[in-house]
Amino acid sequence: MKTEESENFEELRRLLTLKRHEQPPPGYFTNFSAKVIARIEAQQHAAAQPWWQRLLSGFDTKTALVCASSVALGGLLIVGLTMGPSDGDLATAGLPAQPHAGLTSHPVVMAANVPVPAPNQPTMSIQPMSAQDQASSIDPVVNPDAAPRGMFSPNGNFEAPRLQNPALKPPTPPAQVNLQLNAQ
Amino acid sequence: MVQAIALGVFSGATVPKPLATPEPNTGRGEELALIQRAQNGDTSAYDDLVQKHQERIYATIYHMTSNHEDANDLAQETFIKAYSALKSFKGDSSFFTWVYRIAVNKTINFLKQRKNRSAMSLNDLDFNAEHDPDLVALVSDKTPRREASLAELQEKLNEAMQKLSETHRLVVTLHDVQGLAHEEIARITECNVGTVRSRLFYARQQLQAYLSDYLKH
């Protein structure tokens, strides 16, 4: 049994020798140590810089722009909140105050003096008309002759505006028929 | 003796501890000199150290992740972390073991944080794979195209490796792929040799079950 296992492991050992033949691309090790040394020297150079230069070198342009934009927006928001009008400024400026402020600033007596319209009744205000308005709107009804052209008049006539195109003129009434009737 | 004296310089201890397992093809004294220069800020000396260990560190991470890009990033970060922590290297273990430990910890943390398993990005097989006697013996006679068969084997093997837990995959990688001894793995993973052996046995059993269709019985 032991011999059989050893033989099996011997086959496996032979197969594992295949791993030794796996080689990196040609010339890979030529520059390997140079790359390592370059990275080491870069780290030493970075470590020799002052802390603020290392901090700046850690930022790339895109990150810096995003941070600057965020700071600017935040600053604008803070300035807007601190410099904006307060509730007291709104009351003194005659602007409607916020609901909670209105309840405290307007007394109940003032609300009782204001006439409140019925909920389902339409409200309208009647204002006296000026003389010009009266002439333009009442005259056509009282005096039909004064009706402006193209407007309905109460005596049943309708004065249409004169057509400018003669081809569209309405046909003339038959005058001969009336003559014959008169002769009879 | 020279090594012990050099280690004493790094650790500041009066009685230097013995070194870890000797590494093949490594001049220990030369490496210690490089470490000392790197500790004093000499990056060219550290460059030499990186070149010395980069392939094995990369390979270990690659076999753990089965992804070249991840292995590239983690290997670079391993050596960067090692440089920044080089002052704290006391020489209690070899530099090789110390860097390996950093790489292993970094890789396991990466794999645990990676919630969704990313797609594999496997490296190509080198030319010698087709002529490896072990692999030639494994290729089935039923597959006329050997390259396709090796590529399929590679993919199935990596899939099976990714099914193992991180600790079991690490032991298989370090022992069966990298060829490290049990004792060295125990030092890297900071556990005893018995644990390494039991993990290795269990991991092999799991792999054997996953790859039963590709193993001769």
pLDDT tens per residue, range A143-164: 656 555 555 555 555 555 555 5
pTM: 0.60
What does the pLDDT average to over B6-22? 34
pLDDT at position B12 is 34
Cβ contacts of A47 on chain B, cutoff 8 Å? none
What does the pLDDT average to over A121-136? 61
Choose between A130 and B86: higher pLDDT: B86
Interface of A with B (CB under 8 A): 8-9, 11-25, 28-29, 32-37, 39-41, 43
Q: Cα–Cα distance between B72 and B209 in angstroms, integer?
A: 31
Token reading at A153: 């008049």
Asked whether residue B155 carries a pLDDT value surpassing 60, the answer given is: yes
CB spacing of B46 vs A37 below 8 angstroms:
yes
pLDDT tens per residue, range A56-112: 666 667 777 888 889 999 999 998 888 876 666 655 555 555 555 444 545 544 544
Asked whether B135 and A17 are in contact (CB, 8 A), the reply is yes
pLDDT at position A151 is 57
pLDDT at position A142 is 56
| DSSP string for A63-108 | HHHHHHHHHHHHHHHHHHHHHS--HHHHHHTTPPPPHHHHHHHS-H
pLDDT at position B31 is 86
pLDDT tens per residue, range A12-61: 888 898 899 999 999 999 999 999 999 999 988 887 777 777 676 666 67
Q: Output the CA angle B158-B177-A23, nearest 5 degrees.
A: 65
Q: Cα–Cα distance between A148 and A24 in angstroms, integer?
A: 104
pLDDT at position A101 is 47
Cβ contacts of B174 on chain A, cutoff 8 Å? none
pLDDT at position B93 is 83
Strand partners, B124: A23
Backbone angles phi, psi at B67, to 5 degrees: -145, 120
Burial group, residue A183, by CB count within 10 angstroms (0-12, 13-18, 19+): exposed
ipTM of the complex: 0.77
